[in-house]
Amino acid sequence: MSTMDPDDYAMELGPMGPIGEGAALMLRVNRNCPWNQCLFCPVYKASHFSARSVEEVKRDIEAARRVGDLLESTSWDMGLNGYVQHEVIEASLKKYPELYGKYPSAVTEKQWSALRCLSNVANWYIHGTRRVFLQDANALFMKPGELIEVLGYLKKTFPSVDTITCYARARTCARRTPEELTELHDAGLSWCFVGIESGCDEVLEFMKKGVTRQEHISGGRKLLAAGIEMAAFVMPGLGGRNPDVSGRHTRDTIDLLNEIQPTEVRVRSLAVLESAPLYGKCEAREFFHPGEDQMVEELGEMIEGIDFDCAFETLQMTNAFSFRGRLPGQKRAFLDALDSYRALPPMKRAQYLLNRYLRGGYLEFVQGWGKLDPPLQEKVEEAESSIAEEAPDALKKVETALFTLKSKGIP
């Protein structure tokens, strides 16, 4: 009788995928970030970039296929016609102790890897096996010929896949030829998520983004010309508190977006994480973090200034408002919401912000990560009492609490 080896049912997984990819299979095509220098980004700072071979990635695709087959077979046994639901996962855990151990009490390291793969693949099956996200920070860094081979193998193994997305650095996009990008698109690459952050060279340089405004334009246009959809991430607040620099950051970012005209604009307002190099710059007073009101202003200017048709969203929890829709169609509605906030007296704005971040889930996440430490707790309490007492510095206290809260992580 053949034994099942957990290694055959495990895939290597990176740390994250972007918002909106909850239905996707995570498939790691390289490890970490080949640039890894942006001051505001802590994600891969403790790790080194390394490439993965086509053979390694193909092995992971085969592991996903095996896990998918196993789930479908359990589903058929249960009379569920191959559909994967939560009870199918539970039953599979019990049915294959050689793969998953006696979950959760007695599980070997190899079995934990198989369990992570099961979670990745089962979630994907529940959502219909259509989307795949290529990890990590710059999947396009893989040689185009190799990536095309991976995409072909993926689609052959899973013909249901219709959307393949990844993060990509603009500099890498700019260095690819139009022909290479067209071939990648034809092989199945549908979307690239590009961290633009700013259209201002001065800000890009200070933040060590490793890309110029011109490379952003070149990379973005090449993607779109090849038929690959582009989501551009921009970051209100990245110019800091100085009004001249932040003004240039906002205006140049708007101009850049209007020049590239990406398919979608996603906003993630600056959060200075204590694990990111920018935190040290704040402590050394080399960078001054803007307040929430300033970031709301910048967001409003961006919404006002974007003059092409695009999807637009501000769903990341570091934003003071959650918008999702299209520009210019919903421009007025978004601006009206911001105007209502701006018209509030400082005490009401402080209340809004406190509610938004403390009661909107952010604090629970931070608590869940074990990072609700005494200094943060103290600042939150001070902010709450300053509002209860209607203290004149309530807004300032709230801002301080939110800066500390956001420094713990981004949900």
Identify the bridge partners of residue 266 per DSSP, sorted by sequence position.
233, 313
Nearer to ligand SF4, 137 or 296 (CB): 137
How many residues of this chain interact with ligand SF4, rule: CB under 6 A?
11
> 3-state DSSP: the chain helix, strand, coil percent, rounded to 5?
50, 10, 35
Q: Hey, what are 308's tokens?
A: 């092409």
Binding ligand SF4 (rule: CB under 6 A), the pick from 25, 31, 36, 118 is: 36
Q: Hey, what are 163's tokens?
A: 């959307």
Nearer to ligand SF4, 195 or 291 (CB): 195
Task: Answer positive or negative: Cα dihedral of 121, 127, 131, 136.
Answer: negative
233 near ligand SF4 (CB under 6 A): no
Q: Quote the least distance from Cβ 143 to ligand SF4, whole Å.
A: 19
CA distance 2 to 13: 27
Identify the bridge partners of residue 50 per DSSP, sorted by sequence position.
31
Q: Hey, what are 205's tokens?
A: 């340089």
Q: Quote the least distance from Cβ 119 to ligand SF4, whole Å.
A: 24
Pick the piece of the chain touching ligand SF4 (CB under 6 A) from 16-24, 35-43, 333-341, 358-366: 35-43
Q: Which residues, including other chains, have CB under 8 Å from residue 247's CB and lie 6 or more apart?
A: 239
Q: Quote the least distance from Cβ 30 to ligand SF4, whole Å.
A: 12
CA distance 28 to 134: 6
43 near ligand SF4 (CB under 6 A): yes
Q: Is 94 in contact with 78 (CB distance < 8 Å)?
A: no
Binding ligand SF4 (rule: CB under 6 A), the pick from 13, 41, 192, 226 is: 41
N-terminal to C-terminal alpha carbon distance within the chain: 46
Query: CA of 137: how far to CAs of 29, 30, 193, 223, 288, in Å?
Result: 10, 8, 10, 17, 27
Residue with tokens 């993965």: 52
Task: Answer positive or negative: Cα dihedral of 197, 199, 204, 207.
Answer: negative
Q: Quote the least distance from Cβ 138 to ligand SF4, whole Å.
A: 7
139 near ligand SF4 (CB under 6 A): no
Nearer to ligand SF4, 209 or 356 (CB): 209
Q: Scanning residues 187 to 216, which ones bind ligand SF4 (CB under 6 A)?
A: 195
CA distance 345 to 390: 12
137 near ligand SF4 (CB under 6 A): yes
Nearer to ligand SF4, 70 or 230 (CB): 230
Q: Quote the least distance from Cβ 169 to ligand SF4, whole Å.
A: 5
Per-residue contact track with ligand SF4, 85 to 124, x per CB under 6 A? Answer: ----------------------------------------
Pick the piece of the chain touching ligand SF4 (CB under 6 A) from 32-40, 77-85, 180-188, 287-295: 32-40
Nearer to ligand SF4, 183 or 215 (CB): 215
Q: Quote the least distance from Cβ 266 to ligand SF4, whole Å.
A: 14
168 near ligand SF4 (CB under 6 A): no
Q: Is 97 in contact with 36 (CB distance < 8 Å)?
A: no
Q: Which residues, including other chains, have CB under 8 Å from residue 313's CB and lie 6 or more apart?
A: 264, 265, 266, 267, 323, 324, 325
* 3-state SS class at 195: strand
Binding ligand SF4 (rule: CB under 6 A), the pick from 11, 25, 26, 33 is: 33
Q: Quote the least distance from Cβ 205 to ligand SF4, whole Å.
A: 13
Q: Give the binding site for ligand SF4 (CB under 6 A).
A: 33, 35-38, 41, 43-44, 137, 169, 195
